Amino acid sequence: MDIVSEIKKGNRRAIARAISIIENNEKEAKLIVKKIFKNSGKSIKIGITGPAGAGKSTLINRTSLELHKLGYKTAVLAIDPTSHITGGAILGDRVRMTESTDSGTYIRSMASRGATGAISTSLRNSIRILEYAGFNPIIIESVGAGQTEVDIEKVVDVTVVVFNPNTGDSIQTIKAGLTEIGDIYLINKSDLPGSNQLFDSVRDFIGMSDKNPVVLMASAKSNKGVAEFAKKLEDMMKSRQKTKAKEEALKLDLELRDIVLNNVKSKVTTMLDSSKSYAAYLKKVQLRKIDPFEAADKISKGLV
């Protein structure tokens, strides 16, 4: 089968196979991207991040249903923190999102493989596959664990940060860099004690940010406030659409730089592995005859 034309038809098996190729086979992935790239960059991408246990999967499940009611065809890429032992994805997101799958939402878990902030080439290209298949918006779920998830902003158009009153360190997490990135801050599990205080703290804390973000409360479990959240997302999607071309140009600049730097890095690594000059300088550093900075400067001059 021609995988690209099957993706265009929305064939789910073809979409799943294409994303697997994107993740595991660089050579074949490049061929697919070459065919679909011209038609990419049109869908709105929503990043949903926040501490583990904030209830993101249930929230996304319910929100996808609401977006479906508003006429959207949503896809979800759930980035799982990779299990270092097995290399497999360890979150049970799809189990918690079965309802929305029934309504036509496409859900896929992706292992982050230790990429900074779980953002990597495979994520960008998986988004392109879903765009080509006609999904809009595309929701990217990532676990916020300190500073790393801030990178999600490089890929998405709207960023949602989710907290819940049970996450004792939420205010610390807010301080850890999440204040700069959110367009919407959502206190989930709002029926739990402490949610009003958390709402006030978040609002006070992020009131200082330039973005003027929205702070909302919801309970995905009891479906309270989810329709309002979906409506707010729709408003933001419409306003982002107006500046989409400019934003997309900036994102492609970042992506191209990433690819070039990775290419250069792997070329340099290969060169160093076979360089007699590098081996000689390394020996001098190991014998403490020269310091690493001086050695690196001399090796670098020989490379450029």
Chain centre distance of CA 82: 14
The pLDDT of residue 170 is above 60: no
pLDDT band for position 72 (50/70/90)?
Answer: very high
Chain centre distance of CA 184: 16
23 or 34, greater pLDDT: 34
The pLDDT of residue 154 is above 60: yes
DSSP notation for 50-104: E-TTS-HHHHHHHHHHHHHHTT-B-EEEEEEPBPTTT--B---HHHHTHHHHHTT
pLDDT band for position 179 (50/70/90)?
Answer: low
Let me know: does 7 contact 22? Beta carbons within 8 Å.
Answer: no
The pLDDT of residue 132 is above 80: yes
116 or 199, greater pLDDT: 199
pLDDT band for position 219 (50/70/90)?
Answer: confident
Among 153, 158, 161, 211, which Cα is nearest to 185's? 161
145 or 245, greater pLDDT: 245
196 or 172, greater pLDDT: 196
pLDDT band for position 93 (50/70/90)?
Answer: very low
The pLDDT of residue 171 is above 80: no
Q: Would you state the structure tokens that stand for residue 242, as one six-digit string?
A: 């107006």
Distance CA 40, CA 127 (A): 9
250 or 1, greater pLDDT: 250
Among 107, 127, 145, which Cα is nearest to 39's? 127
200 or 103, greater pLDDT: 200
Domain ranges across the chain? 41-242, 257-303
41-242 CATH choice from 2.170.150.20, 3.20.20.70, 3.40.50.300, 1.10.10.10: 3.40.50.300
Query: What value does the mean pLDDT of the chain take?
Result: 82
The pLDDT of residue 84 is above 60: no
- Which has the minimum average pLDDT: 99-108, 113-122, 156-165, 230-239? 113-122
Among 77, 76, 63, which Cα is nearest to 105's? 76
The pLDDT of residue 55? 83
Residue 277: count other Cβ atoms within 10 Å of its Cβ: 13
**Residue 17 class from Cβ within 10 Å (0-12 exposed, 13-18 middle, 19+ buried)?**
middle
The pLDDT of residue 117? 35
Q: Would you state the structure tokens that stand for residue 299, as one six-digit string?
A: 């090796």
pTM for the structure as a whole: 0.83
The pLDDT of residue 168? 58
**Residue 273 class from Cβ within 10 Å (0-12 exposed, 13-18 middle, 19+ buried)?**
exposed
pLDDT band for position 109 (50/70/90)?
Answer: confident
The pLDDT of residue 23 is above 80: yes
The pLDDT of residue 187? 84
